[in-house]
Structure 1
């Protein structure tokens, strides 16, 4: 060791002498090359004296220049100078010393990087995956996420409930319970709405003689509607209800709620229908009595069916439930206007029936009513009804007609109708005005922007062609603003109850999560509560416009990108740009390891895409522990190992980019991870028999920090 400093000093001296000699040879070669190119005479002896260089070069210099690079480097016997020259001039790169020194000088001046071989980078695991494995029982998980699973729950399982929960019994009949907002119940309610509308229209018409054919149709429909309401009673016993934001599906609680509410009115109306059917059945089997008192009794019995209109209270709830399913604001406001118009028509229908029945009763008593004055006493019932309806509508809005009340009862009735019509018409106009204002308020920002753009274009005297193109762009921006709506743009959603928010995120993000090639339904079943928590905590939605750069090569990556539209990816490791299909995952490795973007991702248009926070995903999994955590950790280790193999051997394995592994390869990783998990029980059994040391040797343990 004592001789090493002396050797270094000697080597440095020889290296300095060799470098001086090489520089002198370089100068001689450059001058010779210049003379040959410019066809100029060689330098004079005077110049040679000044520069100390003779021309032509000495014989020994020519021999030195003709030697290969390796032989020149072998002149020096020390490692450090040889290593320096080998780094500057890679072996076999350039043999000519002029070219070698010229390249070295150019690189120094331009400060360009020297060509180096790409070195594979090691991927460092995130701390949540590199930590000690956690085993945590399902009982230690948060209660609010356990309540969101649609499994059976008992009242004694907890002392308090959360908004949006669904309470069920643990016994078999709970499977037959219907959700109040489910498709099946909505279809049944729609049939009930049609039945109520039929009764609303035709019950008052049963006071009149409409002919045998029409009366037969009414009788058949009466039986059909009676059967529907009979079946609705047991259906109501198995239909849950919303109790202060909690979906109550327990059989006893639902039955008790229906018994305290609509059970008695429903049974009363059904009993009345049964009495009417019996009376009419008995009267039809006996000899007919066409006397006037008998006809009036029959009409009175039919009028008893007005008790069915008690179900009108149900009608408003049914309509509200159906309107909740309307997703377009403009269509919803239009439906509200139509509903207000239908209410006005229903009121006029009953007013016209009452006005016509009053006239018929007075005619029977010998009075001169509006029917006689208008020569309508001998016309069919349809003409009489339409005339009465026309008169009723003219009382509710400014219009004219040729019918006027004649008797005192008719005039009293007309005065009452005018007063009611004033209130109803004013309310109708006010409702329509408010609805139209709501429609305008929805587009007020668009109207303001469009007006300002038109003013600007007018002031600048823009041509018609450019004017139209700008206008189309403004309208397109309005449409894009509606399409690019995200959850973060609605502050009210942040105030949702926890369990209801979890259900919302489950329906939005669970289909996206299942598009991962390494995730299977079997893995979700390992811990459904943890999967719900992932959907709630680590997912978010973003929007990119045309030519928007989502990420750039070389930047630090913190989130997975899941394509939701036309995206374009390019990387220095690939040839040309690639179109990214929908539901493609990019930068998956950031879920398990620290990652830097290997390319650029750009949007071709307005694109919704999902992102998963890598650190949040890892910490949520590690905090929960359990079988799913172990499985996901094994998948991550296999994924990182596969990625490093691609990075070390790009020629055979393919370059490592931000694009996800092929689906088949990702599924193979998942299968291998499951097979490794299946070995865990065997390892535990070995540990219980031979001790923990033998169990630990039965399989390799994954690295703690680096793979």
Structure 2
């Protein structure tokens, strides 16, 4: 038998050796066939992927040619597509099938660990509220929050579009642009569109991902109102007053033509501190004039003093 390129005199002499030689040959054939099959499958897979890529590029070019669109726009679209292919995205919860079958209690714990930091970063919570004792936080993390990815060049929202959730930027660098103003950098930790928790808000500018994969967490305004009102208590009253004061700040900003989706954390904390003082004042004094003052503010807020802002169901003293 020949196991080397050159001839030799080595050969089985008895039945046992012949049986062993046959087994070696069969095993070698199986291993070699499997190896060749794996290589062929890999090559075919790469060929199919490349074919799909070329087909997509061909369809894109055909689309622009048939509609007589500009070459400049085509170049910009190509650049966005190229950068998107270079971007690696982390797995989303929906992509992990095993997570869908987890018991509800484990999902709630998972969402709390995923989103609690972003929720607390909003800066709207009074110091006496705690995630350890108040179920509002855990419920908001589970029912009202979700993470998202914005790839380079992708728009998160455009001016004039309806806003339904607050954005808390986790990582990456985004650019926020207002008409007639230079772009602002929205860095990790920035809070965007906070007023939509209390009002029907329309975006004032455009938020776009600049470099790398930009991850951000959203808190849905309708779900926020539903959860907070369901649990009620002192936290509800505080957030109602917080909403009245925040809407007042927005009215002042609109009068000065300074409305923006970006909210300074220092301004949020300042409004929160004022809300804490007013909450304490309302809770400790029977003076009807204090309650009447806030009722007037609440009614004004409910009326929507400026056209772009109308209050949600989380209205004070309702």
Give the TM-score taking structure 1 as reference length.
0.32
SS of the aligned residue for 1:425 comes to: helix
| Pairs within 5 Å for 1:264-275 | none
- Residue 198 (structure 2) pairs with residue 592 (structure 1): yes
Deviation of 1:591 (Å): 0.8
| Pairs within 5 Å for 1:473-492 | 473=79, 476=82, 479=85, 483=88, 487=92, 490=95
1:515 aligned residue (121, 145, 154): 121
| Distance in 1 separating the partners of 2:60 and 2:202 | 43
| Pairs within 5 Å for 1:416-427 | 416-427=23-34
Q: Which residue of 2 aligns with 1:567?
A: 175
- Residue 222 (structure 2) pairs with residue 615 (structure 1): yes
Change (3 A) 1:416 1:494: closer
Question: Where do 5+ consecutive residues of structure 2 fail to align?
Answer: 65-71, 302-318
Deviation of 1:589 (Å): 1.7
Q: Which residue of 1 aligns with 2:248?
A: 644
| Distance in 2 separating the partners of 1:544 and 1:416 | 55
RMSD: 5.0
Change (3 A) 1:474 1:646: closer
Deviation of 1:478 (Å): 5.3
Q: Which residue of 1 aligns with 2:268?
A: 666
- Residue 48 (structure 2) pairs with residue 445 (structure 1): no
Change (3 A) 1:515 1:571: farther
Change (3 A) 1:443 1:667: farther
Q: Which residue of 2 aligns with 1:578?
A: 184
Change (3 A) 1:471 1:676: closer
| Distance in 1 separating the partners of 2:81 and 2:285 | 67
- Residue 260 (structure 2) pairs with residue 657 (structure 1): yes
Change (3 A) 1:610 1:569: farther
| Distance in 2 separating the partners of 1:496 and 1:478 | 31
- Which deviations, in whole Å up to 9, do the C-alpha atoms of 1:536-595 show, x marking residues without a partner? 322343647638471325x654322334532223267xx644333333112212212344
| Distance in 1 separating the partners of 2:126 and 2:103 | 26
SS of the aligned residue for 1:697 comes to: coil
The answer (yes or no) to whether the contact 2:229–2:236 under 8 Å persists in 1 is no
**Aligned pairs, how many?**
278
Q: Which residue of 2 aligns with 1:603?
A: 208
2:131 aligned residue (524, 528, 531): 524
Q: Which has the higher helix share?
A: 1
Q: Which residue of 2 aligns with 1:538?
A: 144
The answer (yes or no) to whether the contact 2:163–2:196 under 8 Å persists in 1 is yes
- Which deviations, in whole Å up to 9, do the C-alpha atoms of 1:369-393 show, x marking residues without a partner? xxxxxxxxxxxxxxxxxxxxxx9xx
Change (3 A) 1:496 1:431: farther
The answer (yes or no) to whether the contact 1:565–1:609 under 8 Å persists in 2 is no
The answer (yes or no) to whether the contact 1:567–1:580 under 8 Å persists in 2 is yes
| Pairs within 5 Å for 1:208-357 | none
| Distance in 2 separating the partners of 1:586 and 1:421 | 64
Deviation of 1:443 (Å): 5.5
Q: Which residue of 1 aligns with 2:20?
A: 413
- Residue 290 (structure 2) pairs with residue 697 (structure 1): no
The answer (yes or no) to whether the contact 1:542–1:611 under 8 Å persists in 2 is no
Q: Which has the higher strand share?
A: 2
| Distance in 1 separating the partners of 2:11 and 2:23 | 12
| Distance in 1 separating the partners of 2:196 and 2:63 | 48
| Pairs within 5 Å for 1:142-181 | none
The answer (yes or no) to whether the contact 2:157–2:206 under 8 Å persists in 1 is yes
The answer (yes or no) to whether the contact 2:125–2:272 under 8 Å persists in 1 is yes
SS of the aligned residue for 2:176 comes to: strand
Question: Relative contact order, CA 8 A, sep 6+: which one is greater?
Answer: 2
| Distance in 1 separating the partners of 2:140 and 2:50 | 37
| Distance in 2 separating the partners of 1:600 and 1:471 | 22
The answer (yes or no) to whether the contact 1:570–1:576 under 8 Å persists in 2 is yes
| Distance in 2 separating the partners of 1:571 and 1:456 | 31
SS of the aligned residue for 1:517 comes to: coil
Deviation of 1:644 (Å): 1.0
The answer (yes or no) to whether the contact 2:166–2:192 under 8 Å persists in 1 is yes
Q: Which residue of 1 aligns with 2:159?
A: 552
Deviation of 1:605 (Å): 4.0
Deviation of 1:671 (Å): 5.3
| Distance in 2 separating the partners of 1:600 and 1:654 | 13
The answer (yes or no) to whether the contact 1:639–1:669 under 8 Å persists in 2 is no
Deviation of 1:619 (Å): 0.5
Change (3 A) 1:663 1:415: same
Change (3 A) 1:542 1:411: closer
Question: Where do 5+ consecutive residues of structure 1 fail to align?
Answer: 1-390, 458-465, 684-694
Deviation of 1:600 (Å): 1.4
Give the TM-score taking structure 2 as reference length.
0.61
- Which deviations, in whole Å up to 9, do the C-alpha atoms of 1:342-390 show, x marking residues without a partner? xxxxxxxxxxxxxxxxxxxxxxxxxxxxxxxxxxxxxxxxxxxxxxxxx
Change (3 A) 1:525 1:449: same
SS of the aligned residue for 1:412 comes to: helix
Stretch moving more, 508-517 or 580-589: 508-517
The answer (yes or no) to whether the contact 1:549–1:600 under 8 Å persists in 2 is no
Deviation of 1:603 (Å): 1.9
